[in-house]
Structure 1
Amino acid sequence: MADPNPARAVRVDRDDDVALLLDPVAAGGAVRFDDATVVAREDIAQGHKIAVRAVAAGAPVRRYRAAFGVATRDIAAGEHVHVHNVRTALSGEDAYRYVPALPPQAERRAEPGFAGYVRADGSVGTRNEIWVLPTVGCVGRLGERIAGLAGPRHTGRVDGVHAFNHPFGCSQLGDDLNRTGAILAALACNPNAGGVVLLGLGCESNQLDAMLARLPADVLARVRTVRAQASADEFAEAMAAVDELAEAATAKRVPVPLSALRLGVKCGGSDSMSGLTANPLIGRMTDRVAAAGGTVLMTEIPEIFGAERLLMARCADEAVFDRLVEVTNRFKRYFLDHGEPVSENPSPGNIAGGITTLEEKSLGAVQKGGVATVTDVLDYGEPVRKAGLSVVDGPGNDAVSTTALAAAGATITLFSTGRGTPLGSPVPTMKIATNRDLATRKGGWIDFDASIALDEGQDAAADALLARIVAVASGEPARNEANEERAIGIWKSGVTL
């Protein structure tokens, strides 16, 4: 007799070899997927994969319409499919060929705008804050003390005063030092910073004058500097600089179209639901913002390995394709030069959540880019240049990648997560939960529950998420802001003296 209460599972495509369990199942239990059932041969946890057909040893195993690994032994229908019977097929650098498969241009639709701060260069901030950026870690704590006292002093005048401490800026050489200077200068250009105090020590490698030389004239107008070693009272001087900026930061929110939004997209603490709920939903935001003429930024280059061809096929032209190939293979070489395999991912938390290989993680992760055309590829610390979807060079580390997005110009970031994290970046960092359990348990961290897409459909979920984005862009605090979770991480790639 048929099981009256089979466990539910979802298969993305009928050619896929696995389905994802929405409910846990015990050995012998029935699992319903599409219009068929399979009997579980063992206990399998919710969010993990069950084989819906037999797979021979050495054959590719498919999910998301693509191979996410190779079977290490024969897998029978009903078996748990995970790290014990599937391995990665990734090795090293690849040769790529530009075979464009540009999707049809998304139809423009009437989209809601938001209330933002228009800057002199035409960019639009979702916040009007004063940022204290130390050139070197030696004055990082000083910056935090300044922001801690100045913030309450200017409540109501600006949206906040925040310092972004970091341990770098000295004892660095070459490209490593250049990256630190570039990322800090790029942060100073973010439209959410209505004023910036560059706080230097004096003897550091990351010299203040070199950072100032990186800034355009319109940004320099809202920058003040303090050189601690040359000041009789660096704290009082910095407080006076914040006071002056707060007096000058008189911008008011005005209605702007969605095309003014610069949206960062990112995932962290992923589980196997990430590619089924939150990331496709974020992909819809990418498509709607890009279709409206706005800007979307995505990064985490090591977390596109195995799915990079999907993005390469959507590059606007061969020059953009060549840049994406360069960044992808350069990052693979970075791993190999340090004696590490390019497949050194997923993390222990990802594996516990049901992700088996880096290819599976990547196939889920790239869905944050929707089907938008890739219009540009940016180096780490390079500001955004074009509307549409830009890929930013940078690692997957949560703090480093969210900082890279803010430095490129993102004014709000969507961060999908299946495991949960309180982390925030300099800009509003909205956490999109992949599953209802996380959204319920960690409501203090989560801004939106993407699991509603399974019940209400992607269209309704997309409309609801866009409404939340518009509210946060217009001033409603994201959870990271309410929790005072703001930090930066800088990508260190060289020696320390």
Structure 2
Amino acid sequence: MSTAPHHPLLPLAAAPGHGSRSAEHPLPGVVELADVALLLRPADDVAVATRQVPAGTTVRLPDGTAVTTTSTLPRGHKLAVRPVTAGAEVRKYGQSIGRAKRDVAPGDHVHTHNLGFADPGAEASDDGAQEHEFGTARTTLPEPATRRTFRGYRRSDGRWGTRNYVGILTSVNCSASTARMIADQFRGPVLDAYPHVDGVVALTHDTGCGLVPTSEGAQVTLRTLRGYASHANMAGLLVVGLGCEMLPVTSVLGGLELREDLPVRTLTIQDTGGIRATVRAGVAAITEMLPGIDALRRAEAPASELVLGLNCGGSDGFSGITANPALGHASDLLVAQGGTSILAETPEVFGAEHLLLRRAVSEEVGQRLLDRIDWWQGYAAAGGGTLDNNPSPGNKAGGLTTILEKSLGAVAKAGTADLVAVHEYAEPVTERGMTFMDTPGYDPVSVTGIVAGGANVVVFTTGRGSVLGCKPSPSIKVATNSDTYRRMREDMDLDAGRIVEDGLSVEDVGDELFEKILAVASGEQTVSEELDLGADEFVPWQLGAVT
């Protein structure tokens, strides 16, 4: 299998066999750096601990000098390997992750107490305007040795689905309970007679009324609902409304070019005669659809028909070292096959956007990303916050300190491929290649937008242990460290921690993840599907005033 170009943020190497399994054993008085931490770039100011390092441990650096830890260093946290004066930038991945709040000595634990956010920005021109590089780091991915395929469901509009779901969408929160009651009638053994139907899922939300239909918030909600209604993984559709809402059923489907092979029914509670009557009518409508949907069969499809959603949550100090770059490699492999990937979470590329701008296919594409970041800065300021109010407490416990550090690790999910398009939330993604979608960093909202945009498979990386499904698309969960994988084995699909713990390369795990993507696209169940997750995680982004 072809290997993509080396990503500028990926670790040059990982030391085999010195991960968390060794944490049970006491350290000798003097240890080699490779035995306890990873120095990702020779000129970095910090190394990342691969196990807990007690205070007073003497660590010999690659140049033969030694530092002594001044406090106990938790796994995933940062060890200073050279002095940094107060106000100076601290470097990891060869990039700035903030500025020292006070003098940092070799051997110090570098974290929130002595490292703070500082946006390095772009170089300023003489008139004070920022100068950005557009398209200066574009690359040509290696031609794949073989053309890969998966087994999916061909739809009448030429797209391919990876699942066969009957979706129940609601135009308003007032019909949410009714939709769930209808879906509940198809739980248990009811669908045993229809083995080629993946399920009946009610995708409900908390809005739909009190919104001005032309407002930004209403348009985002509509765009999301319409993206799910037309999704390639939907094999049948029922839309349920109340009857008096601001966003009625007619607005959800009106003007939407739905596939010829998609059976669609609509119901309004007020016109149908109330909740009980609507539940009976909904069950009857779906029961009528099931034989035709069950008659559909998988066929061989080119991997280029996959649309891969890239997301991370509950990140830790290993996210940017293991799972995210491995996913970036898998994304590159898919893009090289002619497929599509979607990076998202705008607040979590803030501070690392320069790396994406350098890969933009045009200044226009790059400027669209900058425009969305500018919007977010205004949005955060209007709410009394700033975009550097991140990472979360869980991220910090896992070793991440600033949004710059978190973002540098997050963009690794996008591999090395060119950035071909930037979309607003839940917009249809029609381009081939690596794209970006403007979403919040909140995982359910972000993934909802990605799926609405057309992702028929999602890979979700996590260090702390997030659990997320996203019907109608399968969600592959990848642990960034082996401890989390072992502790939450029944919730994880793949262990990327082996990059640190067993010395596997990023490419090794990325290749394995790519094979997992093809297998899941072909019908292999993910652990979130085994647990029937993914309905409650449908959370459209809510914007604007509610009256």
TM-score range, shorter chain: over 0.9
Whole-angstrom CA distance in 2 between matches of 1:219 and 1:374: 33
Whole-angstrom CA distance in 1 between matches of 2:383 and 2:170: 30
Give per-residue Cα distances to partners, 1:399-429, cap 9 Å, x unaligned. 1011111101011111110011222112111
Match for residue 295 of structure 1 among 323, 327, 340: 340
**1:19 alignment partner, SS class:** strand
How far, CA to CA, are the matches of 1:219 and 1:292 in structure 2?
28
Alignment of 1:65-84 (within 5 A): 65-84=94-113
Distance in 1 of aligned mates of 2:526 and 2:377: 35
The residue aligned with 2:248 is: 207
Does 1:417 pair with 2:462? Answer: yes
| Alpha-carbon distance, 1:2 to partner | 6.8
Q: Corresponding residue for 2:30?
A: 3
Matches within 5 A, 1:367-446: 367-426=412-471, 427-446=473-492
Change beyond 3 A, Cα 1:217–1:228: same
2:538 maps to 488
Correspondence 1:147 to 2:147: no
User: How do 1:292-371 residues align onto structure 2 when only pairs under 5 Å count?
Assistant: 292-371=337-416
1:132–1:163 CA contact under 8 A, matched in 2: yes
Q: How far is the alpha carbon of 1:242 from its aligned partner?
A: 1.1
Secondary structure of 1:130's aligned partner: strand
State whether structure 2 residue 199 is matched by structure 1 residue 160: yes
Tell me the distance in 2 between the aligned counterparts of 1:280 and 1:257: 24
SS of 2:459 mapped into structure 1? strand
Partners of 2:231 and 2:59 lie apart in 1 by: 49
What residue number does 1:471 align with? 519
What amino acid maps onto 2:363 in structure 1?
Answer: E
Cα gap change, 1:204 to 1:213, in 2 (>3 Å): same
Equivalent residue, structure 1, for 2:8 = none
1:45 aligned partner: 74
Query: Cα distance, 1:364 vs. partner?
Result: 0.3
What do the CA deviations read for 1:43-89 (whole angstroms, capped 9, x no partner)? 11111000010001000001111101010100001100000001101
Structure 1 residues 77 and 164, CA, compared in 2 at 3 Å: closer, same or farther?
same
Match of 2:288 in 1: 244
For residues 137-195 of structure 1, the C-alpha deviation after alignment (integer angstroms, 9 at most, x for no partner) is 11112111211213543331411111112211112231112211111111112111111
Between the aligned partners of 2:492 and 2:74, the Cα distance in structure 1 is: 23
- What's the CA shift for 1:388? 0.5
Comparing 215-224 and 339-348, the one that deviates more: 215-224
Structure 1 counterpart of 2:409, one-letter code: G
**Structure 2 match to 1:225:** 266
Displacement of 1:483 after TM fit? 0.8
Rounded Cα–Cα distance in structure 1 between residues aligned with 2:264 and 2:131: 43
Higher mean displacement: 413-422 or 205-214: 205-214
In the alignment, the residues of structure 2 paired with residue 74 and residue 219 of structure 1 have an alpha-carbon distance, to the nearest angstrom, of: 66
CA contact (8 A) 2:235 2:262 kept: no
Corresponding residue of 2:160: 124
- AA at the equivalent of 2:77: H
For 1:356 and 1:4, the matched residues in 2 are separated by: 26
User: How much has 1:34 moved relative to structure 2?
Assistant: 5.0
CA distance in 1, matches of 2:130, 2:250: 42
Gaps of 5+ in 2: 1-27, 123-128
Given that 2:360 and 2:420 are in contact with CA atoms closer than 8 Å, whether structure 1 keeps it comes out as yes
- Of the three residues 227, 238, 249, the one matched with 1:197 is 238
Aligned residue type for 1:227: T
| Distance change in 2, residues 1:96/1:203 (3 Å) | farther
CA contact (8 A) 2:317 2:398 kept: yes
Q: Secondary structure at the match of 1:444?
A: helix
CA distance in 1, matches of 2:254, 2:357: 34
Work out whether residues 374 and 389 of structure 1, in 8 Å CA contact, stay in contact via their aligned partners in 2. yes
Of the candidates 200, 210, 215, which is equivalent to residue 171 of structure 1?
210
SS of the residue corresponding to residue 67 of structure 1 reads strand
Do 1:376 and 1:391's aligned partners in 2 also have CA atoms closer than 8 Å? yes
CA deviation after TM superposition for structure 1 residue 4, in Å: 5.5
Tell me the distance in 2 between the aligned counterparts of 1:31 and 1:408: 49
Identity of aligned residues (%): 37
Identify the range of structure 1 (419-428 vs 66-75) with the bigger mean alpha-carbon deviation. Answer: 419-428
Deviation at 1:341, TM superposition (A): 1.3
Q: Does 1:186 align with 2:227?
A: yes
Q: CA distance change for structure 1 residues 102 and 92 in 2, over 3 Å: closer, same or farther?
A: closer
Higher mean displacement: 322-331 or 361-370:
322-331
SS in structure 1 of the partner of residue 436 of structure 2: strand
2:49 is aligned, of 21, 32, 43, to 21
CA contact under 8 A between 2:138 and 2:361: conserved in structure 1? no
1:472, distance to aligned residue in structure 2 (A): 1.2
Q: What code does the residue aligned with 2:95 have?
A: A
Cα separation, 1, equivalents of 2:116 and 2:222: 40
Q: Please give the secondary structure, in 1, of the residue aligned with 2:51.
A: coil
* Aligned residue number for residue 134 of structure 1: 170
Cα pair 1:320 1:375 within 8 Å, conserved: yes
8 A contact 2:32–2:60 mirrored in 1: no
Residue 134 of structure 2 is matched in structure 1 by 99
Of the structure 1 ranges 273-282 and 318-327, higher mean CA displacement relative to structure 2 is found in 318-327
Q: Please, what TM-score do these two structures have when normalized by structure 1?
A: 0.96
Q: In the alignment, is residue 461 of structure 1 matched against residue 461 of structure 2?
A: no
Q: 1:38 to 1:257 in 2, by over 3 A?
A: farther
Q: CA deviation at 1:336?
A: 1.3
The CA deviation at 1:214 is 4.6
**Stretch of structure 1 that moved more, 265-274 or 155-164:** 155-164
- Equivalent pair of 2:156/2:261 in contact (CA under 8 Å): no
Amino acid at match of 1:389: M
Q: What is the TM-score when the length of structure 2 is the normalising length?
A: 0.87
2:320 aligned partner: 275
Q: In structure 1, what is the equivalent of residue 92 of structure 2? A: 63
Give 1:31's aligned amino acid: V
Matched residue, 2:257: 216
Partner of residue 5, structure 2: none
CA distance, structure 2, for counterparts of residue 222 and residue 35 of structure 1: 67
Question: What is the count of residue pairs matched by the alignment?
Answer: 497
Q: Measured at CA, do residues 312 and 477 of structure 1 come closer, stay the same or move farther in structure 2, by a change above 3 Å?
A: same
In the aligned structure 1, how far is the partner of 2:242 from the partner of 2:46? 57
Give secondary structure in 2 for the equivalent of 1:162.
strand
Q: Secondary structure at the match of 2:180?
A: helix
User: Where in structure 1 do 4 or more consecutive aligned residues deviate above 6 Å?
Assistant: 91-94
Distance 1:493 1:415, change over 3 A: same
8 Å contact from structure 1 (residues 202, 228) kept in 2: yes
SS at match of 1:209: helix
Partner Cα distance (2:60, 2:505) in 1 = 19
Q: CA deviation at 1:216?
A: 1.3
- Whole-angstrom distance in 1 between the partners of 2:528 and 2:262: 29
**1:219, 1:367 → 2: CA distance?**
39
Where does the alignment leave 5 or more consecutive residues of structure 1 unmatched?
none
Q: Deviations over 1:227-284 (max 9, x none)?
A: 1211132112211221232233232111112111110000000001000000000100
Cα deviation, residue 97, structure 1: 2.8
